[in-house]
Chain A
Amino acid sequence: MKGLIKWSSISLLSIFCLIFLFPFYMMIVMGTYYSEDLFRELPILPSNYLLENLKTIMSANFLLNYWNSFYVAVLFTVLSVGVAGLTGYAFAKFEFKGRNVLYGFILATMMIPGQLGLIAYVMEMKWFHLNNTHAPLILAALNNAFGVFFMAQFIRSSVPTEVIESGRIDGCSEPGVLIRIVLPFMLPAMSTLGLISFLGSWNNYLLPLVTINKPELYTLPLGIANLSTVFRTDYSASILGLTLGTLPLIILFLFGSKTLVQGLTGGAVKG
């Protein structure tokens, strides 16, 4: 009886996951087809056009777009995690005048939708002559109320106040306490927030769409959305580009999924 339940739930789960992975599998397979064949036959098994498609995307700005996405996402992640960690630490472990009011303010801003100030943000970037640079994409990392909340929750529950105190008694300066004593405790939460931030920046489509109009500055999603208009409507090549663009995220999450769950458990979820 128990074995029956076990096998039926495993097989049901597997079927569900197969259905879920199907579009994903399609994406990988469609990248190996000659574009016109996509509509002539069912693209279920891999075809033989992979290298040609690879050539097509390489002749576009693909590598450059890839690099743009990569370095923007790295800077975005560093900035977002750094500032959120610093701010969260101050709110979790210090008593200071105005703390509750300021923290309440941050929580309240979490409810404000991100798109609300977008039009003026784009305008402001123009005034600073930062349109057609990557700065608007990277600077967006600084508006991360969720990150601050997440880090504060985590630090409150997982960093013992005693070790901070003993660090101070031993004569460590405040930045020293933060870097040498608190930082190692914060790593799980930082990597969780880092994964989420990297993912957000890597997949961002709308902000680059309205701030960048030079092909050599495009990030990956924008470059690929435009790939089909540059040559002919080459879907296979575009899709191959997207597959290659999803690859780093898969690798990142393959190694990070345990940390992700750990970080979520210790942080926002436990409250």
Chain B
Amino acid sequence: MKASGMSRKNKWPYLFIAPYFVSYAVLSLFPIVFTFYMSLTDWDLYGNRNFIGLENYKQLFFHDSYFWKSLLNVFLFLLGYLPALVIVGMLLASVIESKLIRRKTFFRLSVFSAYMTTPVAVGIIFALFFDWQGGILNQLFVEIGLLTEKINWLGSADSARWIVITMVFWKNLGYFVMFYTAGMASVDRSIYEAAIIDGASAKDVFFRITMPLLKPINLFLIITSIISGLQLVEEPMLLFSGWASGSSMVGGPDGSTFTPIWYMFDASFDSSAFKYGKGAAIAYSTFLFIALFSVISIKWFNKEDKGR
């Protein structure tokens, strides 16, 4: 980068970055550090503030099957929707951006509309759609004779997991397509034209040109998806908020859609618990796994790069 030749004593850059760093210190850094302190205490709503060392973590890691189950769930979800998002997203974006399609904005927006819908709506719509007694899916299947008896989709562990995966896929595909679209738009058109003149097939163009060019975007999308995917909470929480004939249940059937951050909310703000210390320990333990898996996936990407 070219230096703009300013003297090093200039005060303006410091004045420009000051608001960000001051607010970061007060509103982010302090809470993050203080949450760590709280995780070492039995802090709760009723006045307990005792320092108990690593007790919360010990409980979580060695005596709490809920915590492990919630972690397992978010990994299963990630395995379910992330590869699908990457593959379907790239294919869809390359079709939308190809010369064949004229009304690009319409298609982009229709895929993106799911991403704009508030999570509360997504929760209600999916709950009503898959509802046992009055759900649209069951009514439709019974009417056309595909089912003889209504299935309790939200009541069994396996199907509940699949519904959450579908929700996240449906919601985020537009986000992925938007990034791929932007990436493809920034690629010089002549590269594609040259390839086609040289006799490359559509398949070759996709695998040899489009995919390698989208690699930095994929790195960004996959890393951010791992970070946000392990923090998943709103979709399953709002799916099981007691709409229609399902009653409100924490964690879904058999805890099959419980997630670590849902556990954090439940431990610290919900029910009659208000165990802030425990919630803080859950937050930090989840962070540990997030950091671990982001590093692993960055390493994996770099290794792939060298392999070429």
Listed in ascending order, the chain A residues whose CB lies under 8 Å from chain B are 5-6, 9-10, 12-13, 16-17, 20-21, 23-24, 26-27, 30, 38-40, 42-43, 83-84, 86-87, 89-91, 93-97, 99, 102, 109, 111-124, 139-140, 142-143, 148, 156, 161, 164-165, 174, 178, 199, 202-203, 205-206, 209-210, 220-221, 224-225, 228, 233, 235, 238-239, 242-243, 245-246, 249-250, 253-254, 257-258, 260-261, 264-265, 268-271
A269 near B110 (CB under 8 angstroms)? no
Listed in ascending order, the chain B residues whose CB lies under 8 Å from chain A are 1-6, 8, 10, 12-14, 16-17, 19-21, 23-24, 27-28, 30-32, 34-35, 38, 92, 95-96, 98, 100-101, 105, 107-114, 116-122, 124-126, 128-129, 131, 133-134, 136, 139-140, 143, 170, 173, 178-179, 181-183, 185-186, 216-217, 220, 227-228, 230-231, 233-234, 238, 241, 243-244, 261, 264-265, 268-269, 276, 279-280, 283-284, 286-287, 290-291, 294
Return chain A residues, CB-CB under 8 Å to B140.
42
A89-B16, A120-B32 given as contacts; is B265 within 8 A of A246 (CB)? no
Most buried by A among B28, B96, B109, B119: B28
Nearest-CB distance from B220 to chain A (Å)?
A: 7
The 4 A-B pairs at the shortest CB distance, nearest first, are namely: A39-B134, A117-B31, A264-B182, A90-B16
Return chain A residues, CB-CB under 8 Å to B139.
42
Most buried by B among A90, A119, A121: A119
* A-B interface pairs (CB < 8 A), number: 264
B129 near A86 (CB under 8 angstroms)? no
Chain A, Cβ-Cβ closest to B7: A95
Most buried by B among A94, A116, A123: A116
B13 near A269 (CB under 8 angstroms)? no
B96 near A26 (CB under 8 angstroms)? no
Partner of B182, one of A119, A206, A265: A265
Partner of A116, one of B13, B35, B119, B143: B35
Return chain B residues, CB-CB under 8 Å to A26.
125, 129, 136
Nearest-CB distance from B284 to chain A (Å)?
A: 7
Chain B, Cβ-Cβ closest to A220: B118
Return chain B residues, CB-CB under 8 Å to A221.
118-120
B3 near A235 (CB under 8 angstroms)? no
Return chain A residues, CB-CB under 8 Å to B101.
9-10, 13
Return chain A residues, CB-CB under 8 Å to B234.
205-206
B111 near A17 (CB under 8 angstroms)? yes
B100 near A5 (CB under 8 angstroms)? yes
Chain B, Cβ-Cβ closest to A95: B3
Nearest-CB distance from B275 to chain A (Å)?
A: 10
Nearest-CB distance from B135 to chain A (Å)?
A: 8
A17-B107, A257-B112 given as contacts; is B4 within 8 A of A87 (CB)? no
Return chain A residues, CB-CB under 8 Å to B128.
30, 38, 235
CA distance A203 to B113 in the complex (A): 13
Partner of A246, one of B24, B109, B117, B261: B117
CA distance A108 to B279 in the complex (A): 24
A117 near B114 (CB under 8 angstroms)? no
CA distance A140 to B12 in the complex (A): 25
Return chain B residues, CB-CB under 8 Å to A243.
121
Partner of A210, one of B114, B231, B269: B269
Partner of B23, one of A38, A142, A253: A142
A20 near B173 (CB under 8 angstroms)? yes
Return chain B residues, CB-CB under 8 Å to A246.
116-118, 121
A113 near B227 (CB under 8 angstroms)? yes
Nearest-CB distance from B188 to chain A (Å)?
A: 12
Chain A, Cβ-Cβ closest to B202: A5
B179 near A120 (CB under 8 angstroms)? no
Nearest-CB distance from A122 to chain B (Å)?
A: 8
B183 near A269 (CB under 8 angstroms)? yes
